[in-house]
Chain A
Amino acid sequence: GIQVEQSPPDLILQEGANSTLRCNFSDSVNNLQWFHQNPWGQLINLFYIPSGTKQNGRLSATTVATERYSLLYISSSQTTDSGVYFCAVKPTIGANSKLTFGKGITLSVRP
């Protein structure tokens, strides 16, 4: 099946810093989503971005589908940004509809 690799696995930032989180995937996809898992375990949908660029406040994401990667940018980070960030994809080929998740990136933002 499709492989999803996220990097770096852990990231520590000082409040106010910027960061870039990366997601590589092994096959062509027609669905890619970024999620933030908060300390209570809830999965918050950040972006649905199978291609192109989107922005939402301090967060933005870019997916270069032809090169099989996606980037999540966090600017002016806040302590509330802490948590685990997951990338999840669905391959273009095949009839299945499931999302395959990466292992996540654990972000800690220090005051």
Chain B
Amino acid sequence: DQQVKQNSPSLSVQEGRISILNCDYTNSMFDYFLWYKKYPAEGPTFLISISSIKDKNEDGRFTVFLNKSAKHLSLHIVPSQPGDSAVYFCAATSPGATSGSRLTFGEGTQLTVNP
């Protein structure tokens, strides 16, 4: 049962343009969402998060949007840079649950930013 799903295995954009990565979830108990970036041979690196009480959170070039009714979130990167090329994982959790904030990850989207 894939509770967090990233339907696009890959995305290719031109440098300077916007990258939009999408994520859907099914578990209504999730109330905190995160995006991680992963380079080959490294662990995931935290990028940005959003609580379910918000619908948008922005940090520099990165903005995460949350649509709770659609159980959908997206990560926007503007402008995209070649160094952004990596695998991006969407993750969800329920901090208040007895599960102790374990993260449930999507499958990942490989972003390639072309110069």
Partners in one complex: no
Interface residues, chain A, with chain B CB atoms under 8 Å away: none
